[in-house]
Chain A
Amino acid sequence: MTTDLGFWTLQALNALQLSMLLFLLSVGLTVIFGLMHFVNLAHGALYALGAYAAASVATMWGYWAAFLLAPVAVAGVGVLLYSGFIQRMRKSGPMAQVLVTFGLIFVLLDVTRIVWGDLPLAIEVPAILGGRLAFLGVEYPTYRLFIIVLGLVVLAGLAFVLGRTQIGAMIRAGVDNDEMAACLGINVERLFFCVFCVGCALAGLAGAVAAPLLSVTPDMGLQILIPTLIVIVIGGLGSLKGAVAGSLIYGFVQTFGAVLAPQLSSVLIYALLAAVLVIKPVGLFPAKG
């Protein structure tokens, strides 16, 4: 089986699909950290919120409305979080931030349980993406290909905005040295706020996209949080390149590990993370050298 080319293609696509889902989540988290030095453990809860919002909207107006509205809804929640907590916690140490966002996980988890109940929800894959496509000699579900394409589009978009536009230059300046950037007349606070909202919207998008693949449960945010953190720590906090590299590493190690060494697969990724932290404590591509 392992000599079959189709098998490898299939696994590579699976890995790529997982990577892109994680990329959508981790890029928001990593840029928020890089720019604001803020650790947001509640990012996973926002993803779960996105999935629930998508499930609710999808039952009313169909999948595409959910796809568009879920990120907006989660960004709205992000605005509330920002003005309520994050703005005030900006200057406190990492432990206080970890604890406040840990508390937020508890709160958001129970809020989703109160609003949507404990039972898993499901969304239908939209008809146009329902079938399978012949791709590089294998049949692959169209919806998963769609996730890969979506991840790549978001990646290209972010790379363009961060690398080629004025606002991207401002964000990079803020990550590099926020005080100097403020001296040069950049409204760093407002920039932070916008980046935070975009990060939340991407988490919501990830939730909406993941909802048809997985069943929507209250603890889905907790489950995705650890992989997301692993991605950004391996990749290095604060950089787009790091988020891409971390997501790909996680996706491929996890997928191929599960196929080639099932007994070791779950430990493998943590061992890799530990190794990265020992050799390069700040990750592979940190935003600041």
Chain B
Amino acid sequence: MFRHTPLRYAALVVLTSAALFQAFTAQYFGLEILTEILILAILVLALDIVAGFGGMVSLCHGALMGVGAYGYAVLSTKAGLTPPVAMAAAVGITASISWIIGAICSRSNGIYFIMATLAFGQMAYSYVFEAPIFGGDDGLGGIERLDLSFIGVDLNDTRTFALFCLVALVAMYGLAVMVLRSGLGRSFSGVMHNEQRMRALGLTVWRVKADVFGISGLIAGVAGVLAAQHIMYISPGLMAWTVSGEALVVVIFGGLGTLVGPLVGAAVFVVLKHELSSLTTYWHLIVGVILIGVVMSRTNGIFGFIEDYFAARNKAVEANPKATEVTKDA
């Protein structure tokens, strides 16, 4: 089950204050980067719930985000719904589609699960790529942001929108923690550790998997809606499988199954990407090398590494309490 250790609280405080500091002090470009980080953070949060706590390594989360983005774009520009209704509907649609994918794929494990989710993601991608209603290859433009002027908030302002994304991220993080701590979340982790036993205990395994996958899809849908509102233009590239692959990379960079780690990963990844791409066009090469290094080092990403470090130090302190007494005296 997911627990908040002091270290995790500390990391959350640091991340939130850094985001707030950036949101209030940065100029236009810095705010754009911050918003990009926040939206990516919501997406990888969704992925970490299923991959880190249930072993469902999904390669369709990019496409789910795309479903949210396209859902919002089509409902608000073509179907004429008002932005709040379109947002809710898009998120709902994404969650339902995600639930169905989770239910269908719940029988597969390991590499077959990865392939099955990849197939569904690609299915969505190629459909959107061809269908005229979604603008096909050209994408869709003219997407409006949510209008909050009745409470005096103008989301067309870059700074306000970044803060809005931060609020969304905090809300989604809260939702994720709540789900993982609930009975459903505990059953979900149980299924990852021993599916046979959970089944023997009378659990409907596919239902648990599908439910959590649906919630994860809901969060990915929120990321999609925000992404559509952020750029105000969407293209099928948003749904390509490499986006899902990158989301997985971010989760691994940060630390799988820590929930806080992927947020760190998202910040590091986006900053690294911008810094490297301003230095060289071959930034993929460097990201690839780092990725291989992280995976082969067998640490659990950046945050996992920090956690292991502190855990090892605490253990050393417990094993040798005299050492601390000495340091305390000194």
Residues of chain A having any CB pair with chain B under 8 Å: 33, 39, 85, 88-89, 93-96, 98-100, 102-107, 109-111, 113-114, 222, 226, 229-230, 233, 237, 263, 266-267, 270-271, 273-274, 277-278, 281-282
Contact = CB atoms under 8 A, between A and B. Distances in A.
Contacts of B122: 226, 270
B123 A271 contact: yes
Nearest first, the 3 A-B pairs at minimum CB distance are A106-B288, A270-B123, A110-B285
Given A99-B249, A106-B287, A229-B115, A270 B292 contact: no
A170 B223 CA distance: 51
B108 A102 contact: no
28 contacts: A39-B111, A93-B110, A94-B110, A94-B111, A94-B114, A98-B57, A98-B111, A100-B291, A100-B295, A102-B245, A102-B248, A103-B249, A103-B287, A103-B288, A103-B290, A107-B285, A107-B288, A109-B285, A110-B282, A226-B122, A229-B115, A230-B119, A237-B111, A266-B130, A270-B123, A271-B123, A273-B116, A274-B123
B130 A263 contact: yes
B127 interface: yes
Given A103-B291, A267-B127, A270-B120, 19 more contacts: A85-B292, A94-B110, A103-B288, A106-B287, A107-B289, A109-B285, A110-B282, A110-B284, A110-B285, A110-B288, A226-B241, A229-B115, A233-B116, A267-B126, A270-B126, A273-B119, A274-B119, A277-B108, A281-B107
Interface of B: 51, 57, 104-105, 107-108, 110-112, 114-116, 118-120, 122-123, 126-127, 129-130, 241-242, 245, 248-249, 252, 281-282, 284-285, 287-292, 295-296
Contacts of A94: 57, 110-111, 114
A154 to B, nearest CB: 24
A190 to B, nearest CB: 23
Contacts of B129: 266
Nearest to A102: B245
Contacts, number: 113
B258 to A, nearest CB: 15
Given A222-B242, A266-B130, A270-B123, A100 B115 contact: no
B151 to A, nearest CB: 43
Contacts of A39: 111, 114
Contacts of B119: 230, 233, 270, 273-274, 277
Contacts of B130: 263, 266-267
Contact of B112 (A100, A263, A277): A277
A100 B288 CA distance: 8
Contacts of B285: 106-107, 109-111, 114
